[in-house]
């Protein structure tokens, strides 16, 4: 019979890492709430729905397969389907069958959706600048981009 080995000691965070981690977690809690509040107040739409519209607008033809859109939005297909239903009711998105896969659906930004984004984007961008970029130097922004690019792949798996 072999003797049980003691469990390895956890790699605890250093005080600097803990301070950084607490800042990150607070940012992850406060920033989405602030952006959601601004969009609801100014445009009558939650931030999650606005992100769906902007993701569609970034596509050459304003459309994307629902499964791909769910992955990019970081949500389930069920939640995405509910959000897209709300956007369809407003006339900003329409769904159609995927031409290459009968089981799939494609969401497409309508002309009314484009118009809504054009009207909502300036206020949203101003809020993003006020909350984030107005506090950073150009070098800070470069470092932020580099840091987030290093972190995102491990979260996307």
Residues of the chain with pLDDT under 50: none
β pairing state of 93-97 and 63-65: unpaired
- The pLDDT tens digits for 71-91 are 999 899 999 999 999 999 999
Backbone φ, ψ for residue 134 (5° rounding): -65, -15
β pairing state of 105-109 and 63-65: antiparallel
The number of folded domains in the chain is 1
CATH number at 67 reads: 1.10.10.10
| Structural Rg of the chain based on CA atoms | 20
d(C-alpha 17, C-alpha 10), whole Å: 14
Query: Are 63 and 70 in contact, with CB atoms under 8 Å apart?
Result: no
- The pLDDT tens digits for 126-150 are 999 999 999 999 999 999 999 999 9
109 assigned to some structural domain: yes
d(C-alpha 84, C-alpha 90), whole Å: 10
Structural domain boundaries, residue 96 = 39-138
């Amino acid at each position: 019979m072999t003797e049980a080995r003691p469990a390895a000691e956890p790699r605890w965070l250093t005080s600097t890492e803990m301070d950084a981690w607490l800042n990150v977690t607070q940012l992850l809690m406060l920033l989405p709430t602030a952006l959601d509040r601004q969009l609801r107040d100014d445009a009558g739409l939650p931030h999650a729905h606005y992100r769906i519209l902007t993701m569609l607008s970034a596509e050459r033809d304003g459309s994307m397969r629902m499964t791909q859109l769910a992955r990019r939005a970081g949500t389930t297909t069920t939640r995405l389907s509910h959000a897209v239903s709300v956007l369809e009711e407003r006339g900003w998105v329409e769904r159609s069958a995927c031409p290459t896969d009968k089981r799939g659906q494609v969401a497409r930004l309508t002309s009314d959706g484009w118009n809504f984004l054009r009207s909502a984007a300036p206020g949203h961008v101003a809020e993003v600048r006020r909350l984030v970029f107005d506090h950073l130097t150009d070098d800070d922004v470069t470092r932020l981009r580099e840091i987030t690019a290093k972190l995102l792949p491990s979260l996307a798996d």
